Amino acid sequence: MADCCTTTGPRKTSYDLAVIGAGSAGFSAAITAAEQGANVALIGHGTIGGTCVNVGCVPSKTMIRAAEALHGARSAGRFPGLVGEARVADWRRLIAAKNDLVSKLRQKKYVDLLPEYNGIGYLEGAARLNGAGVLVGDNHIAVDKIIVASGGRPALPPIPGIEKVKSLNSTTLLELEALPRSLIVVGGGYIGAELAQMMARMGVAVTVICRSRLLPQVEPEISDALASTFRAEGITLYCGIAYDACREDETGVTVCIKEGSELVELKAERLLVATGRSPNTEDLGLAEAGVAIDARGAIVVDDRMRTSKAGVYAAGDVTDRDQFVYMAAYGAKLAAQNALNGDSLAYDNSAMPWVVFTDPQVAGVGLSEAAAGAAGYSVKTSVVPLDQVPRALAARDTRGAIKLVADAKTDRLLGGQILAPEGADSIQTLVLALKFGMTTKALGETIFPYLTTVEGLKLAAQGFGKDVTKLSCCAG
């Protein structure tokens, strides 16, 4: 897709700050700097807006919601006396609506914002550090401070033969002109889990294969409960396997896996690879400029968002930091403020929420039980299944659980995770509890509205000291 933007603002050869990358992180850095009166060169290459609005959060979540609408209708039978049916009637029309939404948000939240900031000059072209600023194509931009926010792209795992297969990734899956009959999903992380369930609900026979368990980053209780939900919806899971080989012929794709000592061949019409992302660092001249990268190719930054090269900062998916769009924007804002004002602000993700948009949704904040133990805490936990939460009982949907982790010595909350249909909207209460150092006792004594999912946090907090199955409604 051609970029609709042209250079905006005054044409210059020198700026106070250059920002490489015009996605969420790049815009956050540029706007922050412009609001402080700086002249900023915002350098984009390709479609403006980056991953989130174009090929990530926005398109995937609207398609996931569409799949939830299908599932909601089909599952109406959980209420006695109801029958519901739903199907995909026009896949191309659904994809076109997704594309229209992406286009409108890109225009409103990126393109149309540029004229609002006189201090931002938008430059289109491939950027490269040259030791005395930035080269944009053949043009030299003299600048002392630089923020690299060039983002990332889907990664390809080292499975023998996979490079010869016309595999799909998180971008191309949502551009298909027709639904495949069957799909193998390689990877059980955030992206793999979300897209696997979405495609299954669209009517595709889905098999997920992963080296660990489903969502290996989350608590085992949460992972196991979500895996049960997936299997109940007809998704086949092969977890804890090793990848052996991959090939493609006129009948489709074959992936060979090792399950223990047994070799298993799996076949499907298409293959989706969802095994993480790679940072866009190859063509930036980082080595020559003295900017260090890690084994994954990501730029290494400290808690001030500084790279190993003085005057060069980095933020977002191109770094070794948290790979969430809101954390990319947060890190970029810090980078801009530090670059202009003396490195006084530190990156803090101790109360960072995260969400996986499966159904039920998975959301968490803070330390897991294992991480808290590794950090030296004396740990105590409370797990409440959703069938103890009145909201879930009224909705006749008790898929899920809530787990809280606390310091056994001080009773201070250390973290928690929620698996529930409204988990994404409930987690922020726990974020605030952690941010302000609440104890489990204080959370358990807090007033929550009845028949809400978030009330489950109160029950889980009370579960540290009592059997919540013996409480009446609203008790405690």
HEC string of 158-195 equals CCCCHHHCCCECCCHHHHCCCCCCEEEEECCCHHHHHH
Regarding whether 430 and 331 lie in a shared domain, the answer is: no
Regarding whether 260 and 140 lie in a shared domain, the answer is: no
Known binding residue 104? Answer is: no
Regarding whether 294 and 148 lie in a shared domain, the answer is: yes
CA–CA dist 324, 45 (Å, integer): 21
Query: Would residue 81 count as lying in a domain?
Result: no
Instruction: Look up the pTM and report it.
Output: 0.94
Known binding residue 188? Answer is: yes
If phi > 0 it is left, if psi is from -120 to 50 it is alpha, else beta; for residue 419 that is beta
Regarding whether 254 and 185 lie in a shared domain, the answer is: yes
The CATH number given to whatever domain includes residue 430 is 3.30.390.30
Average pLDDT over every residue of 330-347 = 97
Confidence band of 476 (pLDDT split at 50, 70, 90): low
Q: What is the DSSP letter of 472?
A: P
Regarding whether 115 and 28 lie in a shared domain, the answer is: yes
Known binding residue 116? Answer is: no
Query: Would residue 63 count as lying in a domain?
Result: no
- Tell the burial category of 374 from Cβ atoms under 10 Å away from its Cβ (0-12, 13-18, 19+): exposed
Regarding whether 432 and 291 lie in a shared domain, the answer is: no
Known binding residue 364? Answer is: no
Known binding residue 137? Answer is: no
Regarding whether 26 and 117 lie in a shared domain, the answer is: yes
Query: Would residue 12 count as lying in a domain?
Result: no
Summarised one tens digit per residue, pLDDT across range 131-180 is 889 999 989 999 999 999 999 999 999 999 999 999 999 999 999 999 99
Regarding whether 286 and 266 lie in a shared domain, the answer is: no
Query: Would residue 88 count as lying in a domain?
Result: no
Regarding whether 149 and 34 lie in a shared domain, the answer is: yes
Query: Would residue 463 count as lying in a domain?
Result: yes
Known binding residue 366? Answer is: no
Summarised one tens digit per residue, pLDDT across range 44-60 is 998 999 999 999 999 99
Known binding residue 117? Answer is: no
Regarding whether 253 and 310 lie in a shared domain, the answer is: no
- State the average pLDDT for the chain: 95
**pLDDT on residue 2:** 40
Summarised one tens digit per residue, pLDDT across range 366-397 is 999 999 999 999 999 999 999 999 999 999 99
Domain end among 314, 341, 368: 341
Across 21-130, where does the E strand assignment appear?
40-44, 120-124, 127-129
Known binding residue 276? Answer is: yes
Query: Would residue 197 count as lying in a domain?
Result: yes
Answer for the pair 144, 138: CB distance below 8 angstroms, yes or no. Answer: no
Confidence band of 12 (pLDDT split at 50, 70, 90): low
If phi > 0 it is left, if psi is from -120 to 50 it is alpha, else beta; for residue 162 that is alpha
Domain end among 275, 306, 322: 275
Domain end among 257, 275, 293: 275
Summarised one tens digit per residue, pLDDT across range 59-97 is 999 999 999 999 999 999 999 999 999 999 999 999 999
Domain count, the chain: 3
CA dihedral 180, 184, 186, 187 (to 10 degrees): 90
Regarding whether 214 and 117 lie in a shared domain, the answer is: no
Query: Would residue 115 count as lying in a domain?
Result: yes
Can you give the residue range of the structural domain that contains 204? Answer: 162-275
The CATH number given to whatever domain includes residue 205 is 3.50.50.60
Give me the residues paired with residue 110 across strands.
none
Regarding whether 170 and 26 lie in a shared domain, the answer is: no
Query: Would residue 55 count as lying in a domain?
Result: no
Known binding residue 317? Answer is: yes
